Amino acid sequence: MVAPLDRKLWRDLQAQWGQLLAIALVVACGIACFVMMLSAYHSLVLTQMAYYERYRFGEVFAELKRAPQNLQSQIAAINAVQEVQTRIVADITLNVPGLLEPATARLISLPPKREGMLNGLFLRSPGTFPDPQQPEEVLISEAFAKANQIQVGDRLGAILNGRWQNLRVTGIALSPEYIYAVSGGNIYPDDKRFGILWANETALSHAFGLDGAFNSVVLTLTPGANERAVITQLDHLLEGYGGLGAYGRRDQFSHRIVSDEIQSLEVSATILPTIFLAIAAFLLHILISRLIAIQRGQIAVLKAFGYTNVQVGWHYLKFMLLVFSGGAVLGLSCGLWLGQGLTQLYADFFHFPFLRYEASALLIITALLISGGAACIGGLMAVREAILLPPAEGMRPKQPVTFRATIVERLGLQRFFSPAGRIILRNLERRPLRASLSILGIAVAVAILLTGFGLQGSMTALMDIQFQIVQREDMTLTFNQLLPYRSRYHLRHLPGILKTEVFRSVPVRLRHGHYQYRLAITGLEPQGELRQLVNRQLQPVSLPPGGLVLGTKLGEILHIQPGDRLGVEVLEGKRQQTQTWVMGLVDEPIGLSAYMNLAALNQMLGEGQVISGAYVLIDSHVKEQLYQALKQLPAIEGIAFREALLESFQAISGESLQIMTGIIVLFACIITFSVVYNSARLALSERNHELATLRVMGFTQTEIAFILLGEQTLLTFIAVPLGLGLGVLLLWLLVQAYNTELYRLPLTLNSGIYGLTALIVIVTSLISNLLIYSQLQALNLVTVLKIQE
């Protein structure tokens, strides 16, 4: 037998189904956002760690000029070194069938014994490792193979140490070392024009004159090892062999980029769900409070018939928990589905060989506890009113609001308002707390909507700044060795080259106090136009004749300001250690950078006027002849195309952020509708007697609709500018979350974003008002007026 209170609960649920559905959707949005982002974050971390462990990803890496193989035993003797693997690594130029542009690749040697190799390879089927007796056989990275539709058995042309060589693909592979594969100096991958190749060690040693020698080494360490001490000893051993400075896994480029991108998910999973659940708590509080106010008489009768405070409180708490439960089921289902899709998206971008999606029971329980806690916080304060309401007081009508003239009336402005308008103003002024809460709820919904559009605008601005203002070259050429400054004139004679600006890149370790960072200083020509340095206001910054100019993010990492001295340890050649002044900061939204006047950099290194690459502007009408010429130049080690980098950025960071912001905008629209509709529906429930009385007194249907809906419209118009201000603050918080080494989102807002946000809120408000108007037309005057006075 159904208890009387449960029957009452069922009737209340039926009567309030529209409002309850709206609140359940808000709860679902919060839980879905929380589960989606955190499950994707944990799954990507698990996938990354499982991949590293299964395929024995190295912990310390070092590149050098050339060292004999017998040095391997000395490296293995370093305290805390567990395993050592030496290898040969070289960047080469490729001629890919069907690809107009020249491609480059990093060629890595495979050890004679494949079992237990470090940085192991996952081999796609069908495919085999290269035959030791066939020097032309290679494995190719999957991203490069997919981008160029290369199959097992296909052949590629390559320039190996100045000699042409035909290579045959025997398999397609993935490596934990190149989850995120980029050519030297680039921040975003170009899978169509840069790939990773693996070949037998014997073949590479013959091709590059490294018989009995190596130029790269990978280590693993014993548990609890002091990585810094191992790196110091390894650097000491390799110093006489052209060592470029050893570094740990956290500084390995692929690992650092992937980890930063995954980490940003965790930050987003904290901010957005918190806001959604806070709105849900707010709506539940308003709903339960007003429901209790409407049912004062019913609560008094229940207590008079012997129901205890606990029973009455539990009745309304069940009402709240049922709403939460509906939202929780929907939110968990959507969150798990969206989380798996988001994880798959990242796994595809980063080329993991397998995906380990996992939404743990702890995560689900945490989501339910957090959202349930928010629901309880929102409802318990209202339920407390029902528990404390004495029966005698509840049976009396609620004390009417004390009459007093409104501000408009005291100012003598009432003649400018119709009777309906004066009723609206009087009701708002006499219930300031209720009006303020409604305004706050709508304002927060507006803020979330603005944040979604703002993130999309910030991403567009980032791409414009980096690829239209900072990087203005069409192509970046990198040489395989230092060339004299006069080589720039040879480049100008190539077909299709309109303008060249040379640069010098040198790997260094920058130190400021106990802060340090490993990257390359780029020496630029002082009057260059193709690579432009800008400040926060996007104004061009001139290179000083001496000293360093750092990117703003690098300055933050090193905790350094203009005017401070910075230690510079060169990681090639004579390995000079010097100090220089930081002369200024520039604002680049992608990657980390350190710039210097080209002449000053060469003077610091004591190597004469040499260059290591060039920025090039080309004539698109003759680019085919230029690409053919570049394929034949053995001095070219790497080629990067600006348009390709832009496409790569859009595919990796842009698409993932656009999907997330699309979800945010969808959730924000749901929340906006829920807040506006709930506010108007509750106002109708509270004032149906008043509105029916006005109708009987002679007010028309349009006039009473104007009284109710005009009040809600006025609240919405007040809330919109407040919400836009809150949205700017929320967007600023999220922009800080995307302040990583890979990219920094600029805080960019324009009138179009403000206008679109306001338009959606106004349209949503109109839709809500239309629904309320239809319910107002169905108002039964006789039934509404039959209440106990």
Reduced 3-state DSSP string for 628-678? HHHHCCCCEEEEEEHHHHHHHHHHHHHHHHHHHHHHHHHHHHHHHHHHHHH
Identify the pLDDT of residue 675.
73
Closest CA to 286 of 678, 749, 712: 678
Q: What share of the chain is helix, strand, coil (3-state, %, to 5)?
A: 55, 20, 25
Nearest partner of 93 among 732, 607, 628, judged by Cα: 628
**pLDDT for 781:** 58
Residue 283 and residue 249: Cα distance in Å, rounded? Answer: 48
CA distances from 465 to 217, 537, 549, 596, 626 (A): 38, 11, 18, 21, 28
What is 352-379 written as a DSSP string? -SS------HHHHHHHHHHHHHHHHHHH
Whether 359 contacts 339, CB under 8 Å: yes
Ordered by start, the domain boundaries in the chain are 55-256, 431-470+643-789, 497-618
The phi and psi torsions of 107 (rounded to 5 degrees) equal: -100, 125
Q: Tokens for 773, please give them.
A: 């108007």
3-state DSSP assignment of residue 786? coil
Rounded to whole angstroms, how far apart are CA atoms 569 and 706?
Answer: 74
Cα 781 to Cα 203, 690, 693: the distances in Å are 94, 10, 8
Closest by alpha carbon to 644, among 197, 154, 36, 195?
195
Helices 655-696 and 751-777, axial angle in degrees (round to 10) = 40
Nearest to 298 by CA among 319, 281, 280, 277: 319
Give the C-alpha distances (Å, rounded to integers) separating 167 from 140, 156, 158: 10, 5, 7
- Residue showing tokens 């000293």: 547
Q: Which pLDDT value is given to residue 789?
A: 45
* Contact present, 592 and 164 (Cβ < 8 Å): no
Q: What is the pLDDT of residue 686?
A: 66
CA-based end-to-end distance of the chain: 34
Reading the block at residue 399, the tokens are: 């004390």
DSSP per-residue string spanning 477-538: EEEEEEEETTHHHHHHTSTTEEEEEEEEEEEEEEEETTEEEEEEEEEE-TT-SSB--B-TT-
Residue 169 near residue 153, CB atoms below 8 Å: yes
Query: Radius of gyration of the chain from Cα atoms?
Result: 34
Pairing of strands 548-551, 515-524: unpaired
pLDDT of residue 56: 93
Give the global pTM: 0.74
Which letter does DSSP use for residue 399 in this model?
P
Q: Is the peptide bond before 495 cis (omega within 30 degrees of 0)?
A: no
How far is residue 439's CA from residue 445's CA, in Å, rounded to a whole number? 10
Question: Which residue shows structure tokens 């398999």?
Answer: 171
Q: What angle do CA 617, 623, 628 make, to 5 degrees?
A: 115
For residue 471, the one-letter residue type is Q
> 672, 666 in Cβ contact below 8 A?
no
Residues (pLDDT < 70) of the chain are 1-2, 184-185, 267-269, 272, 276-277, 279-288, 290-291, 293-294, 296, 374-421, 423-424, 429, 651-657, 686-687, 689, 778-789
Amino acid identity at 411? L
* Per-residue pLDDT at 291: 66
Residue-level pLDDT at 653 = 63
Q: For residue 629, what are the CA distances in angstroms to 95, 493, 494? A: 12, 11, 7
The DSSP annotation for 587-634 comes to --SBS--EEEEHHHHHHHHT--SEEEEEEEEE-GGGHHHHHHHHHT-T
Q: What are phi and psi of 307, to 5 degrees?
A: -70, 135
pLDDT for the residue 410: 64
């910030």: which residue's tokens? 458
Q: Which two tokens stand for residue 512?
A: 């400021």
